[in-house]
Amino acid sequence: MSQKQWIAGINAVAAALEHDAANVREVLIEAGAKNPRLTEIEANARRLDIDVRRVNTQALDGVVGGLRHQGVVARYAAVKTWNENELEDLVAAADGRALLLILDGVQDPHNLGACLRSAAAAGATAVLIPKDKSVQVNATVRKTSAGAADSIPVVSVTNLARAMRDLQQLGVWLYGLAGEAEASIYSIDLRGNVALVLGGEGDGLRRLTRENCDQLVKIPMPGGSEVESLNVSVASGVTLFEAVRQRGVAAT
């Protein structure tokens, strides 16, 4: 993104200072606030030679509108955007163990932020989202992701079905989650180049997205619910960490 934007909240601002300080232009902190984490953020920003201003609550409210800011916001200029043409390099760099998350039309920024957080925690290679009919990475997504939006490649693609076919040409197996599928996610080998494909809230996977998956799988649910009834961020976490389990990542 070339444009500047505001990010809000303690976790979001702290993560931006930690992971991408070069793109933080200034930090605004609520005057008179006693929260020690705000004091820590102020100290870190000053140490990094980033402008810090103490302002009143009304000024913070005016900057971020209705977004909850917890007494701190930062003016942020993210210069790195991931192009779909870079997918080949991302997959190649994973050396046969690429793990991608494809989100087909997630509309809620809180859900997208939570998915990004799970993907980053699982060490995913990248997250793909379509440019249309999907929320993009905005201030709310950044806040909810607690820094993950800045630490994992998020690739916004013009044509999701075409991007999926391109991944298949790169040797990536695409597994779509669908409640009516016969195969369980736990019966699938997720140790190689894999993309997990999840649909948006309510409608699940779109027809073309389904058709471009190599196989449809489900999360077994003894309660009898279909996968669409699971929150997409919960389903993302379950499937991503099944891949992590299969890959034998040692606990630290």
Bind-site residues for S-adenosyl-L-methionine: 199, 219, 230
| DSSP codes, the chain | --SEEEEESHHHHHHHHHH-GGGEEEEEEETT---HHHHHHHHHHHHTT-EEEEE-HHHHHHHHTTS--TTEEEEEE----B-GGGHHHHHHHTTT--EEEEEE----HHHHHHHHHHHHHTT-SEEEEESSSS--S-HHHHHHHTTHHHHS-EEEES-HHHHHHHHHHTT-EEEEE-TT-SEEGGGS--SSSEEEEEEBTTTBS-HHHHHTSSEEEE---TT---GGGS-HHHHHHHHHHHHHHHTTPPP-
Give residue 192's identity as a one-letter amino acid code.
G
Instruction: Report the alpha-carbon distance of residue 188 to residue 193 in Å, rounded.
Output: 13
Instruction: Report the alpha-carbon distance of residue 186 to residue 239 in Å, rounded.
Output: 9
CA-based torsion, 87, 239, 248, 119: positive or negative:
positive
Instruction: Report the alpha-carbon distance of residue 246 to residue 110 in Å, rounded.
Output: 28
Binding region = 199, 219, 230
